[in-house]
Amino acid sequence: MDTRTAVSMLSDEALAFNACEQCLYDFRTDEGAFTCHYYECPYLPEDLDVWCPTCRYNFMVDDGNPACGDTPRCNFARRTAPARVAALDAWLTLHGS
């Protein structure tokens, strides 16, 4: 999926999302601290959430311990994660990250 296609699929909420001004978290690398001190961004739209809701595997950076096997194969991994990774990548491209 190219960036233009992914951008056109973003919801208005995802397009309008901006990380907090002082946020140190890097959504591309999954590094840095949230200045709000939450475990995860409380404002992140669902379209941009690349974490498995069951085991917290991060599909953007392929990091974590997937509960469904060494190669994630749950419904979220097959149906939802690829679109969310493309959406987050498009959002990051739009925001110069």
Round to whole Å and give the CA distance between 97 and 83: 19
- Supply the pLDDT for residue 7: 67
Quick: pLDDT tens for 10-34: 888 888 899 888 888 888 888 888 8
Q: What's the rounded Cα separation, in Å, for the pair 16 and 24?
A: 19
Interval 49-62: pLDDT, tens: 999 999 989 999 99
Q: Where are the chain's structural domains? A: 3-94
Contacts of 12 (CB under 8 A, 6+ apart): none
Round to whole Å and give the CA distance between 70 and 84.
20
pTM metric for this prediction = 0.84
Residue 61's pLDDT is 92
Q: Which two tokens stand for residue 80?
A: 């939802």
Half-sphere exposure of 20 (CA within 13 A, CB side): 14
